[in-house]
Structure 1
Amino acid sequence: MTDLGLRKNSHRLERVDAEMLSSSLPALMLQAEKLVNGFDPGTHGRRKSGVGEDFWQFKSYEQSDPSSSIDWRQSAKRDQLFIRQNELETPESVWFWCDNSPGMAFSSKNAIPSKLFQSRVLTLATALLLMKGSENFAYIGGLQKASQGPVSFERFTENLLRLDSKDLATLTTGLRLPKKARVVLVSDFLYPQEQLQKFFNILQQTENRGLLVQINDPAEIGFPFKGRILFKGMNGPLSALFGRSENIRDEYLEKFQAHQNFLKQAARKLQWDYLGHNTENPMSEPLSSIFFSLQRKTK
């Protein structure tokens, strides 16, 4: 499938949410913190005994167990010594990638932030939630190991906003991920299927689990165009002029749906989750879906 980034008329060409992205971090952080505010994800137990707040099970007391762990109330009920075990809360390594290709700068309406802006907000908001939960996180290609805390978040933000941040092509050639990590890839994924398949084959070899988050503008999803319109691709010189653009709507929607089905099938094969987000909709729902997808325990 070729690039589906759409631009109506030449005056919209290369519009990049100038005010939002020029101020960059303040605007992004304001939106990310707004999303996180009031969202209570809880803590993430790993279903092993250890230091934690959530009860897991009672276990018969053994000589190797410290006497301080004996639950005297439970022991009195059963006339036998029992210890109380809580869930071990262990930080999980989560790695992010946010597509920075030209097509991500697209927005069909002034009132709708670009795909790039929203993908960055969702990425920052998820990292903030992980930081609050003492989880390890990192940005793919950022040269830092996964870690936790405010300093790590600051480095994460710097890597996210780098102008030379990797697009899918450069990411494919140098992908390095640790074992047993969770991965969050945020993009419109409007790349040729051959290129995507090559990337998915590499992901298959890493044996990591993760989430594909597809971000699309409502014009890309619904194709509301009518009349004579010149469409220009934002990732290259591709252009097409249609006298009656509404005549190609059905064919376009069919191909767009087929591309989404391809992504969903690829995610299932990887044993990953797939999430689609329309930039016209609130970001609170995809944030919740991303976070709780990461909290599901690996097999």
Structure 2
Amino acid sequence: MADAQHLSATVLLGVHGRKRAGTGDEFWQYRPAQAGDAYRQIDWRRSARSDGHFIRQTEWQAAQAVLIGVDDAASMTFTGHKGRPSKLRRAQTLAMALAIIAVRGGERVGLTHLPEPPRGGTAQLMRMAQALMDGHEAGDYGAPRPQVMPMGSRAVFLSDFLGDPAAIEAVLGRAADRDVRGALVQILDPDEEAFPFDGRTVFESMTGAIRFETLKAKSLREAYLERLAERKARLQEMCRRTGWRYHLHHTDQPAEPALLWLYRALEKVRA
């Protein structure tokens, strides 16, 4: 929570208005009165300063639900260097920082693996933090399995997305059917991008269920990088088809740019 609070402070906070006329408290703009406008809508103080009549419009500020899914399968606990956070810890920090920003903006937040609907308030943030630390996924690779998906809400899934891509496609298809849009954030360790292995190497999954030994690890590099590029392209194509957005983040990079990207991406999704 301390890391998330510090991270969320780097994003300029403000009311999450929709920049659209409607019911709300925040002033948006004045517009000239038109035929059909009620007299009670006219702002007489503003109109007195000109020859015409003007309507004071407020900004539409409907609180929305933001669902956040954090993959905590074994593969997410990997880090290639003790000086770097694991993929899971970075995902948890980004998730909580985003939740803090959403709650401060008057929105409701929730975790996709919990049956409870999204809620607002500080107490909800504490419940989410506890649930993230409790863990829920088993096996080497995970996939989002949202239990609650309110119509028209937004969602964020944070994962390395190295498991079965068909599971991701199914979730995004279900989301599209419910008019839910959002973002996929693929989190990878730099070693997973560079494949810096040579000579005799033993590759083992984080649970130990998968094990492979080779005497010429370097010879696998080209095929590995090709498969990884194909996976990224497939994720991007999924997002393109469903109106979602895709972002790649590396754990050796600061978390601030990823959070700022998420903040802006959700604002665009909502517009």
Alignment match, 2:43: 70
Cα offsets for 1:43-97 (capped at 9, x unmatched):
221213233334234252844626xx6142344312x332211212222210111
How many angstroms does 1:158 deviate by?
2.2
Alignment match, 1:10: none
The answer to which structure, 1 or 2, has the higher relative contact order (CA under 8 A, 6+ apart) is 1
Do the aligned residues in 1 keep the contact of 2:181 with 2:269 (CA within 8 Å)? no
Do the aligned residues in 1 keep the contact of 2:44 with 2:53 (CA within 8 Å)? yes
Q: CA RMSD in A?
A: 2.3
Alignment match, 1:198: 170
Do the aligned residues in 2 keep the contact of 1:49 with 1:56 (CA within 8 Å)? no
Q: TM-score, normalised by structure 1?
A: 0.81
How many angstroms does 1:246 deviate by?
1.2
Q: Is the counterpart of residue 127 in structure 1 residue 102 in structure 2? A: no
Q: TM-score, normalised by structure 2?
A: 0.89
How many angstroms does 1:194 deviate by?
3.4
Q: Cα 1:71–1:135, aligned 2, differ >3 Å: closer, same or farther?
A: farther
Alignment match, 2:111: 139
Q: Is the counterpart of residue 213 in structure 1 residue 213 in structure 2? A: no
Tell me, what secondary structure is at the counterpart of 1:50?
A: coil
Q: Cα 1:71–1:244, aligned 2, differ >3 Å: closer, same or farther?
A: farther
Q: Cα 1:59–1:137, aligned 2, differ >3 Å: closer, same or farther?
A: farther
Q: Cα 1:288–1:54, aligned 2, differ >3 Å: closer, same or farther?
A: farther
* Distance across 2 between alignment mates of 1:297 and 1:129: 16
* Distance across 2 between alignment mates of 1:236 and 1:65: 71
Q: Cα 1:207–1:55, aligned 2, differ >3 Å: closer, same or farther?
A: closer
How many angstroms does 1:227 deviate by?
1.8
Cα offsets for 1:123-156 (capped at 9, x unmatched):
0000111111111111113232222111221222
Tell me, what secondary structure is at the counterpart of 2:186?
A: strand
Q: 1:248 aligns with which of 186, 200, 220?
A: 220
Identical columns (%)? 25
Q: Is the counterpart of residue 53 in structure 1 residue 26 in structure 2? A: yes
Do the aligned residues in 2 keep the contact of 1:70 with 1:84 (CA within 8 Å)? yes
* Distance across 2 between alignment mates of 1:204 and 1:50: 27
How many pairs align? 267
How many angstroms does 1:259 deviate by?
0.6
Alignment match, 1:178: 150
